[in-house]
Amino acid sequence: MKHFLSIMDWTAGEIAGLLELAAELKANRGSRRDALRGRTLAMIFQKPSTRTRVSFEAGMAQLGGTALHLAAADLQLGRGETVEDTARVLARYTDAILARVFDHHDLDRLTVGGVPVVNGLSDRLHPCQALADVLTIREHKGKIEGITVAYLGDGNNVCHSLINAAARTGLNLRIAAPPRFEPYPDILAAARDGGAEIELTTDAVEAVQGADAVYTDVWASMGQEDEAAQRREIFAPYRVDEDLFAQAAPDAIFLHCLPAHRGDEVTDAVIDHARSVVWDQAENRMHTEKALLLTLLGA
């Protein structure tokens, strides 16, 4: 049974295949209209979402399938049913499970149901976002391998999945994060063992200098709201403004997984810049997820 909990669970060839299929689906949006007819995706949300929910729902609809939005509080999970029992029941009704969770271990527990499980986001990883990221880079740079991305800010789940993507696509990654906010050492080690070129620094300018793309994310994720004021002070040197963006290559693009806190991690002038590709990046969530669903469901 194939799942998509981490990019590292898939080979470089499999990831390349997903990206090729996603590009094909984007170029011909009317294709595969009936490929998932009669198929159902259960979508468990412990966290609210715009892009994850709408991209998967729209993607399933475009492929002829059905997506069910299941807020955790509306399930028996909210009354004490175990994750494993919920998975076993959902697997009797649906063909795959998408879950957006706090604890990454909950995704492993969902796999006991016997249908494919997709990580829609966890505290550790956000692999669906990374698929959209690398497709966007390929569209705007013509390739992925050898492209240098500077990631600024928190070494969070988005950063972790970019690290994984570097190991599977040949992307070069420079990460600038303040002390104590670096990405997990085990994730870095696994990617480097897989051949990824990853540099760590605390200096934002050093990371951005000559980079082909500049990427940032919010400084306080869901569940960290009580730390927002403290994090704003710590991460202020990593704000992507016009001066910092100008340190990148002249044709560098700007990436952000969204939602953006304008004025914190990025200024209006950068996110609305002519070389900002954040809206393409958001759209590509749907195309890569359609490719993923088709692959997981054998269609």
Q: Give me the active site residues, please.
A: 100, 126, 129, 217, 257, 285
Which residues, in sequence order, are bridge partners of residue 173? 149, 198
Strands (E), 146-242: 148-152, 172-176, 197-201, 213-216
Closest-CA residue to 253 (of 128, 148, 127)? 148
Give CA–CA dist 155/180, Å, rounded.
Answer: 9
Closest-CA residue to 121 (of 52, 219, 191)? 52
